[in-house]
Chains A and B, each alone.
Chain A
């Protein structure tokens, strides 16, 4: 095609475009359709991760330690609450309540959305059963109701929780959006980490409110691990994604990722948490520190999802990335 003035070239002078694109594309038109997802889906994904992480925490926590006992209870309540809220957020995205029911017509193993919804429902069931158990233990419900929640629901909630947290990543990575596809292992793994960290943060926050300071140390250590893993995964994602990663890691969005997600959402709470485990601060100050760390982590979790979605939209608009889609 030498000597051929492509539309780009022919127009370059006329439109005052500064540099010619490397590969001629179709008028720089996007080849792919961008996601129609806004705050509600971002929130749905974020809360799904937190909710799932809480389910795991509730299982890790032991009955015979008071602090962990209380953690388990608050984690169960919180994850059940989120499991109740999340479908409402999804419905707000779908437009009408009965549309959610269409999701229940089938189970489709190849659709992360389908599996995720069923996972969410089963998780809600397990969470509900476990909440019932807590309520029975607390005497709110008659004690015999405890029998309706078999002991299997505890590990089940953990397993489903892990799934729910992970599926929010697969939901993105198993799409045609080049950026997301390039993160086919990173995004699910990072989602799980973010979910765990978020769960730890939320649990710490609740524990701080409750005055259950003993457990916050444990949670914070786990949060450090999850945050560290997330950081490592995201950095590796940047490396592995190469040019597909540009919409996420470069430019203004990359800057936001670095300052908001990585620095404010991961590094800062990690540092706060490390301070917490290294130095014993006065109680009120420590509560502030924990609260700050938790809020930053949760903020980081939301911003990660937001960045992923927004960068996904930008990635969809890049025809060059879409011409050769990541395997």
Chain B
């Protein structure tokens, strides 16, 4: 069965329960304690150890009316793409597609090469490199160091780090449980379920919002283009994707490979012929 997330930003109250529930379940440390001044967003981005991230977009009118003032909030997450750049790039096979059709990083296989990091068109996956004694002190509850976890050795791997991102709570799904973020979300802005059902629900939601005069669009319920296909974690937005720090035209990096290999091959052939000629004509 294909499962995924439908994140309806019109229901998001920006409480960040998803961020915390995710960290609690996945036993992830904090990313540091930096005040950004960027609205209420102090975690700033998805990272190797922040697998849900709530974006805050303030759109306040300068003049006195308050009618159209908006404070948009969106809980961002790994998109679990149909064609996933990270998975294609992974040279070890650490990133796999599991039986729930989600893109899963096997921490015991990942060797921390970082190639997935630059291959995600959404800037989601990142290396985790805070799992050492020094860092755990600085960052507080580095629970992967907790003795209760028997596989922490494989999870932490080495000081070089492993890639980290949302697993769509694979380990919870194997128990028939809802992912931690979707379960916690007080207003059910994050909905988890069968993808087909979620997409139907999302389309219906767009229509019902339109009836209320709210213009909304889906991001990733269908093909997002660039060879990526649909997203298993998709969103309902009420502004341009860029407003939420989402790409409007993402591209699957591997689509550039044929051109690259061809150019390289032609150049190499050309130079080889040139060399051959130079050596022979000398």
Contact = CB atoms under 8 A, between A and B. Distances in A.
Given A95-B161, A325-B226, A7 B38 contact: yes
Given A95-B158, A111-B88, A162-B264, A174 B257 contact: yes
A221 B117 contact: no
A283 B249 CA distance: 58
Nearest to A90: B113
Given A7-B39, A102-B94, A176-B253, A60 B279 contact: yes
A260 interface: no
A187 interface: yes
A217 to B, nearest CB: 6
Contact of A33 (B68, B110, B126, B247): B126
Interface in B237-282: 239, 241-251, 253-257, 259-272, 274-276, 278-279, 282
Contacts of B159: 95
Given A96-B158, A184-B260, A186-B263, A37 B61 contact: no
A234 interface: no
Contacts of A111: 88-91, 115
A171 B253 CA distance: 10
Contact of B85 (A162, A176, A184): A176
A213 interface: no
A187 B118 contact: no
19 contacts: A1-B239, A3-B62, A5-B62, A33-B123, A61-B279, A62-B279, A102-B110, A103-B92, A106-B92, A162-B269, A162-B272, A174-B260, A181-B253, A185-B262, A188-B264, A193-B271, A222-B278, A319-B242, A323-B241
A93 interface: yes
Interface string A87-129: 0000001111001101101101011111001000000000000
Interface stretch (B19-27, B51-59, B168-176, B187-195): B51-59
Given A162-B264, A166-B261, A325-B226, A3 B63 contact: yes
B274 A36 contact: no
Contacts of A192: 264, 267-268, 271
A96 B153 CA distance: 14
B123 A4 contact: no
Q: Which of A27, A181, A233 has the most CB of B within 10 A?
A: A27
Contact of A27 (B38, B61, B257): B38
B123 A32 contact: yes
Interface in A161-194: 162-163, 165-167, 169-171, 173-177, 180-181, 184-189, 191-193
Interface string A299-327: 00000000000001000100100111111
B14 interface: no
Interface in A123-161: 158
A26 B253 contact: no
Nearest to B248: A323
Interface string B1-43: 0000000000000000000000000000000000010110100
A319 B158 contact: no
Given A31-B245, A189-B267, A225 B160 contact: no
A59 B279 CA distance: 11
Contacts of A177: 118
A262 interface: no
Contact of A218 (B125, B127, B269, B279): B279
A173 B57 contact: no
A12 B108 CA distance: 46
Given A176-B251, A185-B262, A218-B279, 15 more contacts: A25-B242, A96-B160, A99-B111, A103-B91, A112-B89, A162-B264, A166-B265, A173-B260, A176-B120, A185-B259, A192-B264, A222-B278, A225-B274, A225-B278, A323-B248
Contacts of B161: 95
Contact of B114 (A37, A170, A188): A37
Given A33-B123, A166-B265, A319 B245 contact: yes
Nearest to A65: B279
B93 interface: yes
A102 B245 CA distance: 34
Nearest to A3: B61
Interface string A183-214: 01111110111001000000000000000000
Nearest to A114: B91
Interface in A44-71: 56-57, 59-62, 68
Given A95-B160, A108-B90, A103 B253 contact: no
Nearest to B36: A27
A200 to B, nearest CB: 8
A242 interface: no
B209 to A, nearest CB: 18
B92 to A, nearest CB: 4
A30 interface: yes
A112 B258 CA distance: 11
Nearest to A165: B268
A189 B264 contact: yes
Given A27-B41, A29-B245, A170-B261, A325 B115 contact: no
Contacts of B245: 25-26, 29, 31, 319
B231 to A, nearest CB: 15
Given A24-B243, A99-B112, A188 B45 contact: no
Contact of A325 (B62, B249, B274): B249
Q: Which of B126, B239, B282 has the most CB of A within 10 A?
A: B282
